[in-house]
């Protein structure tokens, strides 16, 4: 019986149109999987190869974070950090004070968890279980990672200008910046994958980028983070989110084509 595109299909529903960059990456990824599948004894081994590739992608962002962290430890960013906060403190006003307090609330733990919960429930109910799992895993992992990093660096909060918000943890890296990069970046990516029109996908990603930038700016304006804290938070957040995205694409692509790969393996053994 001839193989049809619908036979053996597994995984969640997907839209027919994809972002060009993602589509090209998937084609290369699938060819790499086909090349290694014949040598992989099990599905777990094949997925291990893909996860290794995801780790390499995340390493680039982690290396950039490590570079910033090393400069922070040496104190070489302090002059720049102080100058930026002093300039922002000199340009505060009643309206911007209220606006930044509202914006920074979008990066707090409660708001982020509500957004993740609603988005994950929607994805699950619309048969996008892999995407729902990705969102939950990336959020939980981001929280754990941020707490570990904060504990490891224990950088005191800035006292350059008056703080306009209450804080209870250390300063480096910024938890708001990191959670915004992880959650809003991942949600925008998952939403873009489901949209049919190119302009809608681009608009979704741009809105997420602007929202992340505003949350980062709010932390500086409120005087609760140094610029290096925020920059490092975005770097490590995007690195973690990128690893989760690559893993999702790899697992879904492999699950979709697993029946054909199995047939190829049988044919090679003969």
Give the per-residue pLDDT at 85.
Answer: 96
Give the per-residue pLDDT at 8.
Answer: 45
**Cα 206 to chain centroid, rounded:** 15
pLDDT tens-digit series, residues 209-267: 999 999 999 999 999 999 999 999 999 998 998 888 877 777 777 666 555 545 545 45
Give the per-residue pLDDT at 48.
Answer: 59
The count of residues in the chain is: 270
Q: Single out the residue of 133, 124, 130, 128 nearest to residue 251, CA to CA.
A: 130
Q: Distance between CA 145 and CA 139 in Å, rounded?
A: 10
Q: Distance between CA 60 and CA 73 in Å, rounded?
A: 20
Which is it for the CA torsion 234, 108, 213, 162, positive or negative?
Answer: negative
pLDDT tens-digit series, residues 103-127: 999 999 899 999 999 999 999 999 8
Give the per-residue pLDDT at 24.
Answer: 53
- Per-residue pLDDT, averaged over 156-177, amounts to 92
Q: At CA 187, angle to CA 132 and CA 49, rounded to 5? A: 60
Q: Distance between CA 143 and CA 109 in Å, rounded?
A: 9
pLDDT tens-digit series, residues 50-93: 566 557 767 888 888 999 999 999 999 999 999 999 999 999 99
3-state helix, strand, coil in the chain (%, to 5): 75, 0, 25
Assess whether pLDDT exceeds 80 at residue 196. Answer: yes
Give the per-residue pLDDT at 15.
Answer: 44
Q: What is the dihedral of CA 10, 14, 16, 22, to 10 degrees?
A: -100
Q: Domain limits of the chain?
A: 20-264
Q: Distance between CA 60 and CA 239 in Å, rounded?
A: 7
The better pLDDT of the pair 142, 53 is held by: 142
Give the per-residue pLDDT at 11.
Answer: 47
Q: At CA 112, angle to CA 169 and CA 120, rounded to 5? A: 140
pLDDT tens-digit series, residues 177-195: 999 999 999 999 889 888 8
The better pLDDT of the pair 162, 48 is held by: 162
Give the per-residue pLDDT at 7.
Answer: 46
Helix (H, G, I), strand (E, B) or coil at 25: helix
Mean pLDDT score of the chain: 81
Assess whether pLDDT exceeds 70 at residue 270. Answer: no
**Cα 263 to chain centroid, rounded:** 35
Give the per-residue pLDDT at 47.
Answer: 56
pLDDT tens-digit series, residues 1-22: 445 444 444 445 444 444 554 4
Q: 20-264: which CATH architecture?
A: Up-down Bundle (1.20)
Assess whether pLDDT exceeds 60 at residue 30. Answer: no
Q: Distance between CA 208 and CA 231 in Å, rounded?
A: 16
Burial letters for 168-201: b for 16+ Cβ neighbours within 10 Å, e otherwise? eebbbbbbbbbbbbbbbbbbbbbbbbbbeeeeeb
Structure tokens at 142: 């981001």
């Amino acid at each position: 019986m001839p193989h049809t595109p619908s036979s053996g299909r597994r995984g969640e529903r997907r839209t027919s149109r994809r972002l060009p960059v993602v589509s090209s990456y998937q084609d290369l990824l699938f060819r790499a999987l086909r090349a290694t599948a014949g040598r992989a004894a099990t599905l777990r081994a094949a997925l291990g190869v893909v996860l290794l590739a995801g780790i390499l992608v995340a390493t680039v962002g982690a290396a950039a974070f490590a570079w910033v962290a090393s400069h922070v430890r040496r104190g070489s960013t302090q002059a720049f950090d102080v100058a930026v906060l002093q300039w922002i403190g000199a340009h505060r006003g009643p309206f911007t004070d209220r606006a930044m307090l509202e914006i920074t609330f979008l990066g707090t733990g409660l708001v982020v968890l509500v957004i993740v919960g609603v988005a994950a429930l929607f994805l699950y109910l619309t048969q996008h279980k892999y995407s729902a799992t990705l969102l939950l895993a990336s959020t939980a992992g981001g929280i754990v990672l941020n707490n570990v990093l904060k504990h490891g660096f224990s950088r005191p909060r800035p006292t350059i200008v008056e703080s306009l918000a209450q804080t209870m943890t250390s300063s480096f890296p910024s938890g708001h910046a990191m959670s915004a990069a992880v959650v809003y970046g991942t949600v925008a990516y998952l939403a873009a994958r489901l949209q049919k029109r190119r302009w809608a996908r681009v608009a979704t990603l741009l809105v997420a980028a602007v929202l992340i930038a505003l949350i980062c700016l709010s932390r500086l304006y409120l005087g609760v983070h140094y610029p290096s804290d925020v920059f490092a938070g975005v770097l490590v957040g995007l690195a973690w989110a990128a690893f989760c995205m690559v893993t999702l694409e790899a697992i879904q692509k492999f699950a979709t084509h697993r029946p054909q790969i199995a047939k190829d393996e049988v044919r090679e053994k003969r």
